[in-house]
Structure 1
């Protein structure tokens, strides 16, 4: 099969590799669509501990396709079934796993991060992931391209629960890439009175307005325009959907009294020590939190929102590539060209 293997920093190679075999309790997925994530960009540009010249890694963790084979003892899915797969699983149990938050367990594993992922024609789904319930059936009307986006949607849903966005809230989203726009869609679903998108990229702000003319967009520093739009009150919810330290500092200043601030976008290694004025948190009574990854509950909720047509995600996909052009797809995403790029396979 063809696969995109990460060997080292800035070293992805397309190669013919053996189709993975599966053991008892495992599942073989034939990939239909695998979308590019910011994590893939970071792994390519910065390197990754689990991708080495001695042991290269097939990356890609947003995936959907068809079950090609099942191992002995598998009863939860069958050959020919259309599915998407949550990438995070737990090899062993723990208090966090029992609490339904295994994605936060230090010993978690993820397809495309620790194990071979979806930028390949076939993916082996480990026994622990199958038993945990990571393989989700998808309805006939949901495309593979959209089903693969259940993963980033689930991550955003996790943040939505922490932000507690409700009817009438003013939501400021800093960063208008695919993740920022999913935050915008969720905020609109929750009844936000104003959904304000902020970015330095004029092209992405223009794309955002084509998705929903009701989005308010601000280029550059949002302070003055946010002040005008809110009568000086600020935003009830501020979400940093960008890896920029200065915007985490700024987020506190932009939040309203009793506001909620969510640090969604992680920061590059070595740049995560950020000055925060704790008096702003204190005197505004702000709630400041962060979220990462998603639980299986979040994943199921995200898939339900797509299946029930509550949220539309297909309009986020702006480019489709064969696996041989994986580097091109990741580079396009890194350069903020368009929105969501995906790797597609013929089924």
Structure 2
């Protein structure tokens, strides 16, 4: 069986992230050491989204195709993903085809300066009673507040939270977390997965006592911008979550402050001065933070892309995310 010595897709502009409307140009390189009998050579350019999960004995799945174009040039968080790729194939009659794939990252540019209310404070509150009905305890109440709604990766979020424990049970510990909230949708079902991407642990709270957590700092990790435009099967949001870890068997108290993660920061705000309004800056930079890069759109842990559906697509590249280093003066992608 003849195998090509080199078979790869090379893009001319060497971009690592594309925006809608960008041109994608390149060439296909094929080198053979001996003659190969083939029907044709194809290049496929495609974009798609896919979600799947199990609940008990039932499985739910949905897919959405954004576009798919195949040109003859000669003769996917494990629940779901959004993926754009170029795939070339040598079609050989009665033999196994040779394939090569180049993954593209396509992000919408999200300019926080063009959105409303990004500088306004945001917060949330929640409460719960242990036990239920006639034996319900006195409430456990929590609230969390941050200075504004809009951030970019690399910025520092300054969080203030408080807890009022009116119950007779101890709150074992508290935490303030940066979370990603992903909703997956099929025609018959919807599910939501919450993933913690950054965390600061807090102290416990005794029964009938209170607790204040002031000026807790969270760094926005290297993540994709909020929202998934034109995708109907997967939607992504971010929030700061204040959690009270309760006794075993009880559902923890969670309080959310929703935020928007963009790609272009607010004018006149420095990432390390988020609580006070900051100072003017020039062109923040990115830096390599591969430990916090998400391997797929569905999950945000380090590693290679998951590919549960298209097993013939060999994907080993880590994704690249924008990250602002507020101590530098130039801007690149990490």
TM class by shorter chain equals under 0.3
TM-score, normalization: structure 2?
A: 0.25
How high is the TM-score relative to the length of structure 1?
0.24
Considering fraction of residues, name the structure with more strand.
2
